Amino acid sequence: MYRTIQQSLLARIQAILLAKYDVTLTNPGAPQLVIEQPPSITLGELALPVAFELAKRLRKAPRAIATELAAELTAALPTLEGVASVEVAGAGYLNIRLDRAAAIRRIAADQHADIGGPGFRLVEHTSINPNKAAHIGHLRNAILGDTFQRLLRPDTFKTGYEVGVQNYIDNTGVQVADVVVGLVYLEGKTLTSTRELLTELLETNQRIDFYCWDLYARVSQWYTADSEHIAARKQIRLDTLHALEIGHNDTADIADLISTAVLRRHLDTMQRLNIEYDFLPRESEILSLHFWDAARELMLEKGVLYLETAGKNKGCYVMRRAGTLEERAGTSEEIATADSSLPDEDAKVIVRSNGTVTYVGKDIAYHLWKFGLLPGKDFGYAKFHEYPTHCCWISTTHGETPHPTFGKADAIYNVIDSRQNDPQNNVIAALRGMGYTEAADRYTHFSYEMVALTPRCAVELGYTISEEDQKKPFIEVSGRKGFGVKADDLLDRLIAAAKSEVDTRHPEIEPAQRLTIATQIAVGALRYFMLRFTRNTIIAFDFKDALSFEGETGPYVQYAIVRAANIFRKANTTEAASLAAIAILDLSNILDTEEGSSLWETWLLASKLTLLIEQCIATAEPAYLAKYAFQLAQQFNNFYHRHHVLNETDPTRKSLLLATAAVAQREMTRALAYLGIEAPPVM
């Protein structure tokens, strides 16, 4: 509702600016139309500082402009549904007061503005190398991406977005090559014995991704353990990587067996967190279906890619990095003395001199396909994993028909950590260099910082921490060193801790249901912890902080929802009935009092969910919605302690109190759903 009124106000202001001052928002230097909330509810529900933006252009005092605009808006009040009055405040603010009773009825009736628009949005997230178990750092990626795709295609509100979720599988990269080296050179495995290993692990209920976790750390140490053999072992690694890219050999087949088995475990892990995918494009098909060959020809044709004939990159196909010469050089003197005949030592290598394609090269080909810019090229598709409501497909060379369409996106969001800024920028630069500027503009690198552990958490996990590390705010994890938290181990510990609490509080509930509730709490705690921080913040994970029922946590919001549900259970009514009752209540004598203003604040905050969703999409920042859910839970808890709903004797006041609890519960539940968190029946 709040966003609906905002939109109608903005539209009216735009019309007034054009008619009265001949000012349009598309003109250079046009005023910025923003809407704020006054510092106190007594000043109104919305504030417009547009007069300050117009003052210089119109050569008038802001307050004089605000007075003129207020008169125009006041005359238009009959067409501004929900607006009660317009006032000039301070040096030139326009304060808008809403018709509280009418607004509450609209909020109770669940009236919302549309969200979204036409076009296909493609969200790529998770993208874990299929060489070992998923760890805590991968979870931030997956939870961010899953939450963002939920925001793009919300269930409750109208939306025109069609969304596809992809999980890119780098099954021919160096990390998979390392595991193959470990199997062949440390474990002495062949293709046949690798198949036997997978069968044995399956029969003994052991996980291949856990097995590879330890093997990956061992082979990383093996590369540098013997100084006399470092060069030879490095060559083994390169030869293995080359064999994976060529395909159709035992080494590539071993990699395919292992990476596919590990991938299945990754999907199981993510499904525990309510994370699902539509399509799993694999790097092996990008190579075998010659996506890169088509991309290379296109890049050569467009003059973006060239063969370097001198310098350190001799024999490589390279692409000039993003940025102009002026941006890369430090001074005008350096630019003046630059010799264009010399090789560009800063150029990005796309194809190495040995013929192998770099990560960036394959990524350029993949993104050309994503945007539908790789004519004549598409994956084969095969069904891979069944979710309760849909099927997840995987790329193949020869697939099944019919199949869904997964490419040709209008906008792309890639959830990839900030350490990949350079490769991402090079993909965007390649698109621009080829003339695909619109695609480059609609390519969003949804970056984020790493997840570390607090020293306390590391000790709880059994790691030995030095005195120096114990004083640090966080400790970085490292898969190569085997230092970190497997995602499944983390979930198991969180569920066990939550179940212990649920068992103590609710021994009367059946054990299976207690486990379900504990899982909801644990998943909620983990997802909220990963989402409460803005993306550019390093997270130091801690068990105790994440599971706390107090403070800014998932369990705190879940507990507020359970509290609200208890009100309706004890009142022997439902949330829906309480909201429906608002339509016939006379609220005029209640909402203007001090107590009424307190209740109105809860309704006003509850009305802003669609506004927050729109902000999250515009800024690619889900943390704003997490903060909103917490603030609404705080607002409800303040209401809960201030008003004794069940003891209220006045029928009208009691109905309003019940409806206030109902609207808070409804919007908290929805907010958590967009965050991928369920509300348990008890806490």
What DSSP line would sit under 45-102, residue for residue?
Answer: SEEE-HHHHHHHHHTS-HHHHHHHHHHHHHHTGGGSTTEEEEEEETTTEEEEEE-HHH
Of 48, 66, 98, which residue is a domain's last?
Answer: 98
Q: Say if residue 327's pLDDT is above 50.
A: no
In the prediction, which pLDDT does 445 show? 95
Per-residue model confidence as pLDDT tens digits over 57-70: 889 999 999 999 99
| Whether 609 contacts 668, CB under 8 Å | no
Written as six digits, the tokens of 360 are: 């960036």
Per-residue model confidence as pLDDT tens digits over 150-192: 999 877 666 668 999 999 999 998 999 999 999 999 999 999 9
Q: Determine, yes or no, domain membership for 230.
A: no
In the prediction, which pLDDT does 331 show? 42
Measured CA to CA, the distance from residue 83 to residue 98 in angstroms comes to 4
Per-residue model confidence as pLDDT tens digits over 80-93: 888 999 999 999 99
User: What average pLDDT does this structure show over 636-641?
Assistant: 96
Q: Determine, yes or no, domain membership for 181.
A: no
Give the count of beta carbons closer than 10 Å to the beta carbon of residue 440. 18
DSSP state of 155: S
Sign of CA dihedral 218, 221, 223, 226: negative
CATH number at residue 585: 1.10.730.10
**In sequence order, which residues have a C-beta less than 8 Å from that of residue 548 and are 6 or more positions away?**
555, 556
| Whether 178 contacts 224, CB under 8 Å | no
In the prediction, which pLDDT does 154 show? 72
The average confidence (pLDDT) of the chain is 90
**What is the C-alpha end-to-end distance of the chain, expressed in Å?**
31
What distances in angstroms separate CA 346 from CA 95, 319, 362, one per listed residue?
Answer: 55, 9, 20
Per-residue model confidence as pLDDT tens digits over 439-487: 999 999 999 999 988 888 888 877 778 888 888 888 887 766 656 789 9
In the prediction, which pLDDT does 305 show? 94
Radius of gyration of the chain (CA): 29
Coil, helix or strand at residue 114:
coil
Q: Determine, yes or no, domain membership for 305.
A: yes
What distances in angstroms separate CA 1 from CA 83, 108, 111, 463, 614, one per listed residue?
Answer: 12, 10, 6, 51, 13
Backbone angles phi, psi at 308, to 5 degrees: -80, 130
Binning pLDDT at 50, 70 and 90, where does residue 526 land?
very high
| Helices and strands (H, E) in the chain, number of each type | 28, 15
Q: Say if residue 564's pLDDT is above 90.
A: yes
In the prediction, which pLDDT does 483 show? 67
Provide the residue range defining the domain that includes 572: 554-675
Binning pLDDT at 50, 70 and 90, where does residue 30 land?
low
Report the predicted TM-score, pTM, of the whole model to 2 decimal places: 0.91
Q: Say if residue 334's pLDDT is above 90.
A: no
CATH number at residue 52: 3.30.1360.70
User: What average pLDDT does this structure show over 346-373?
Assistant: 91
| Whether 582 contacts 590, CB under 8 Å | no
Residue with tokens 């054009």: 18
Per-residue model confidence as pLDDT tens digits over 230-247: 999 999 999 999 899 889
Q: Determine, yes or no, domain membership for 220.
A: no
Of 334, 368, 402, which residue is a domain's last?
Answer: 368
Structural domains counted in the chain: 3
Q: Which of 169, 140, 680, 86 is nearest to 392 (CA)?
A: 169
Backbone angles phi, psi at 375, to 5 degrees: -55, 135
| Whether 457 contacts 545, CB under 8 Å | no
Q: Determine, yes or no, domain membership for 126.
A: no
In the prediction, which pLDDT does 527 show? 97
Of 98, 124, 149, which residue is a domain's last?
Answer: 98
What distances in angstroms separate CA 512 from CA 671, 680, 681, one per listed residue?
Answer: 27, 14, 14
| Whether 70 contacts 86, CB under 8 Å | yes
Pairing state between β 391-396 and 380-386? antiparallel
Strands (DSSP E) along 454-601, which ranges? 539-541
Q: Determine, yes or no, domain membership for 355.
A: yes
Q: What is the dihedral of CA 457, 462, 467, 468, to 10 degrees?
A: -60
In the prediction, which pLDDT does 131 show? 96
Q: Which of 278, 293, 289 is nearest to 152 (CA)?
A: 278
Give the count of beta carbons closer than 10 Å to the beta carbon of residue 618. 9
In the prediction, which pLDDT does 36 show? 87
Instruction: Compute CA 302 distance to the chain's CA centroid, rounded to the nearest angstrom.
Output: 34
Q: Determine, yes or no, domain membership for 525.
A: no
User: What average pLDDT does this structure show over 29-54?
Assistant: 83
In the prediction, which pLDDT does 458 show? 84
Backbone angles phi, psi at 187, to 5 degrees: -100, -10
Coil, helix or strand at residue 169:
strand
Measured CA to CA, the distance from residue 139 to residue 123 in angstroms comes to 16
Per-residue model confidence as pLDDT tens digits over 614-635: 999 999 999 999 999 999 999 9
| Whether 284 contacts 256, CB under 8 Å | yes
Peptide bond into 118 cis (omega under 30): no
Q: Determine, yes or no, domain membership for 569.
A: yes
Q: What percent of the chain shows pLDDT beyond 70?
A: 94
